[in-house]
Amino acid sequence: MTTATRSPAEITLIALAFVLSGLILVVPLVLIFAFALREGLATYLTNILEPNTLHAVGLTVLTAIIVVPINIVVGVCLAWLVTRFRFPGRQLIITTIELPASVSPIVAGVVYLFLYGGQGLLGPVLQAANIQLMFTVTAIILVSLFVTAPFVARELIPLMQQQGTEDEEAALSLGASGWQMFWHVTLPNIRWAILYGAVLTNARVMGEFGAVSVVSGSIRGQTNTLPLQITQLFNDFNVTGAFAAATTLALIAVLTLILKSSLEGRGWR
Amino acid sequence: MAQRRSRHLLPGFGLTLGVSMLYLTIIIVLPLIAMLLKVGGMGWEEFWRIVSSNRSLAAYRITFSSALIASIFNGIFGLLLAWVLTRYSFPGKRILDALVDLPFALPTAVAGLVLVTLFSDTGWYGQFLEPNGFKVNYTQAGIIVAMIFTSIPFVVRTVQPVLEEVQVDLEEAARTLGATNWQVFARVIWPTILPAFIAGCVLSFARSLGEFGAVVFIAGNLPGLTEIVSLLIYIRLDEYNYEGAAALAFILLLVAFATLVLTNALGAWQVRYADRRR
């Protein structure tokens, strides 16, 4: 393909793609680091090590550590269920799991408020039991589970559909137990897709803003995740501080892209 | 029970069904039911009064028109990227391919922060645009810019795999029959990728309708001028006007559901189309 004879149309299209992508994608990424470091490295470090920002980093990481493994386990179960069995309601399950990802994150926050909030469905019950769910870390974790519900299953379903069941049936007929079959046959076949789904889940959980801003209460040093902390710094006119906090998420984004790209290079897609 | 076991050859039906149903119920269905009960409890007249108020209508108009313009831009830009990435090889292709997903990997709040800084009157872009009378921040143009950025990958990622599979023999046959490049594109390639292209545009549109984080940074959020539906819901919650929030959230949920049905149908169309061509 790499011949010296490129048509003028080809050159124009490639150039256009690079210029537009540069303006729309590269420049914004560069700007984050340029603004974070514009007052020097010392200021950058002070900004990053500011207690409320550090706390937000910790809370964001904690949320991801809890949400990602749950998403993996449930994603594998869901994918196994809908690709290995035919039963009534199967299509409904597939549609239900996709719904959270197609709705505005604000709506995600709202539905949780109407379930667990003081005015919500379970509000009186929770109040009687003296349990406060809204505006706590638990609420942040719950909405994060909601918005990322399809992320692992979505990667596994087409792959497992395409792989079929022959390997697994062979393992069973050779006397393997269900768990042996899963660990030695199924899991090795889908591990890269699981990792891929986990990477996407992680990126979304760490960056979720709309849903979390409804249910977290944005209490500084308590329920502020990184995106909320960035917003508050910006609203306080601490632009450099906001960008310093943003570099952490931008680095994770770049890491996500690199992981994603190398996983796709493994050819299972 | 014995009958069921023989019908399902593989194990794990009960376990995975149990886990899946439990999870779907607790995490997705129960919260949705809670909201539907809230909407159902307010009565039709109250619901209609909220969703057809002037402020709501203005918010729909701003949200829908901005999302439409953003999707048209992303349709064209996405098609260009998908085409370049599948048809040509050039240095930096893999980086460009990876870069396309940046808007999904970068948190929307960070995207908003970056865009509002880029387009401010002293920003890298704003300093050139504002003297020429083109103000982006705190106008509808800002909403459109935010929506464009956050939904770039959809069209690229739906069209790319289909474009890779357009049969070369069909193209070559058309060429041998004397078709020009443009004719090959218009008559052979375009009809094949059309369902995927539309699906990508619909996904991009749906995402733009629901975008919140990036938009609130740059929009200025003036009622009737730059107030999107998601933001109006957020404001209603802040005012403890839960009925108002529930009714508008219900509208967005309906739109999301319709989008899902539409993209599923488009997916089925694509499969049928591909089968017929084979």
Q: What is the pLDDT of residue A132?
A: 85
Closest CA to A235 of A251, A213, A208: A213
The answer to whether residues A112 and A148 belong to one domain is: yes
Q: What is the pLDDT of residue B265?
A: 85
The answer to whether residues A138 and A26 belong to one domain is: no
Using an 8 Å CB-CB cutoff, list chain B residues near A25: 99-100, 102-103, 152
Using an 8 Å CB-CB cutoff, list chain A residues near B234: 106, 213-214
How far is B110 from B149, CA to CA, in rounded Å?
12
Whether residue A120 lies inside any domain: the answer is yes
How far is B147 from B154, CA to CA, in rounded Å?
12
Q: What is the pLDDT of residue B2?
A: 39
Q: Sorting pLDDT into bands at 50, 70 and 90, what band is B5?
A: very low
Q: What is the pLDDT of residue B170?
A: 80
Summarised one tens digit per residue, pLDDT across range B120-136 is 999 999 999 989 989 99
**Residue ranges of domains in chain B:** 1-41, 43-277
Contact A14 B90 (CB under 8 A): yes
Residue B104 forms contact with A (CB below 8 Å): yes
Would you give the DSSP letter of residue A237? T
Closest CA to A77 of A147, A140, A160: A160
If one counts every other C-beta atom within 10 angstroms of the C-beta of residue B64, the result is 16
Nearest by CB to B35, which of A84, A114, A172?
A114
Tell me the backbone φ, ψ of residue B221, rounded to 5 degrees: 60, 50
If one counts every other C-beta atom within 10 angstroms of the C-beta of residue A48, the result is 16
Number of domains forming the structure of chain A: 2
How far is A223 from A242, CA to CA, in rounded Å?
17
Tell me the backbone φ, ψ of residue B160, rounded to 5 degrees: -50, -55
The answer to whether residues A209 and A159 belong to one domain is: yes
Q: Sorting pLDDT into bands at 50, 70 and 90, what band is B1?
A: very low
CB pairs under 8 A between A and B: 261
Residue B44 forms contact with A (CB below 8 Å): no
Asked whether the predicted pLDDT for residue B4 surpasses 60, the reply is no
Q: What is the DSSP string of A126-192?
A: HHHTT---TTSHHHHHHHHHHHTTTHHHHHHHHHHHHH-SHHHHHHHHTT--HHHHIIIIIHHHHHH
Q: What is the pLDDT of residue B168?
A: 77
The answer to whether residues A218 and A108 belong to one domain is: yes
Average pLDDT over residues B224-241: 92
Contacts of B42 (CB under 8 A, 6+ apart): B243, B246, B247
Q: Report the top-level CATH class of B43-277.
A: mainly alpha
Whether residue A164 lies inside any domain: the answer is yes
Whether residue A269 lies inside any domain: the answer is no
Dihedral in degrees, nearest 10, Cα atoms A220, A221, A227, A233: 60
How far is A116 from A139, CA to CA, in rounded Å?
9
The answer to whether residues A135 and A3 belong to one domain is: no
**Cβ B106 vs Cβ A250: under 8 Å:** yes
Contact A249 B16 (CB under 8 A): no
B34 sits in which H/E element: helix B30-41
Largest CA distance in chain B: 78
Nearest by CB to A106, which of B12, B212, B260?
B212
Q: What is the pLDDT of residue A4?
A: 58
The answer to whether residues A45 and A162 belong to one domain is: yes
Q: What is the pLDDT of residue A101?
A: 85
Whether residue A186 lies inside any domain: the answer is yes
Q: What is the pLDDT of residue B276?
A: 63
Average pLDDT over residues B50-57: 94
If one counts every other C-beta atom within 10 angstroms of the C-beta of residue A55, the result is 18
Residue B133 forms contact with A (CB below 8 Å): no
Domain that holds residue A28: 1-36
Summarised one tens digit per residue, pLDDT across range B143-161 is 999 999 999 999 999 999 8
Taking CA atoms, A159 is separated from A197, B54, B138, B208, in Å, by: 12, 48, 44, 28
- CA closest to A200 among chain B residues: B105
Question: What CATH number has the domain bearing residue A90?
Answer: 1.10.3720.10
Taking CA atoms, B249 is separated from A107, A108, A113, B106, B180, in Å, by: 5, 9, 12, 25, 50
Nearest by CB to A209, which of B212, B231, B249?
B212
How far is B253 from A215, CA to CA, in rounded Å?
18
The answer to whether residues A18 and A74 belong to one domain is: no
Summarised one tens digit per residue, pLDDT across range B257-267 is 888 888 888 87
Residue B29 forms contact with A (CB below 8 Å): yes
How far is A187 from B121, CA to CA, in rounded Å?
54
**Cβ A245 vs Cβ A56: under 8 Å:** yes
Spell out the per-residue pLDDT of chain A, length 269, in tens: 445 578 888 999 999 999 999 999 999 999 999 999 999 999 999 999 999 999 999 999 999 999 999 999 999 999 999 999 999 999 889 889 988 988 899 999 999 999 988 888 888 888 888 888 888 899 999 999 999 999 999 999 989 988 888 899 999 999 999 899 999 999 999 999 999 899 999 999 999 999 999 998 767 777 889 999 999 999 999 999 999 999 999 999 999 999 988 887 665 44
Q: What is the pLDDT of residue A263?
A: 85
Residue A40 φ/ψ region, left for φ over 0, alpha for ψ in the -120 to 50 degree band, beta for the rest: left
Asked whether the predicted pLDDT for residue B87 surpasses 80, the reply is yes
How far is B147 from A261, CA to CA, in rounded Å?
24
**Cβ B110 vs Cβ A246: under 8 Å:** yes
How far is A74 from A4, CA to CA, in rounded Å?
51
Whether residue A232 lies inside any domain: the answer is yes
Taking CA atoms, B260 is separated from A57, B188, B263, in Å, by: 34, 28, 5
Q: What is the ipTM of this complex?
A: 0.89
Contact A258 B234 (CB under 8 A): no
How far is A42 from B45, CA to CA, in rounded Å?
60
How far is B227 from A214, CA to CA, in rounded Å?
17
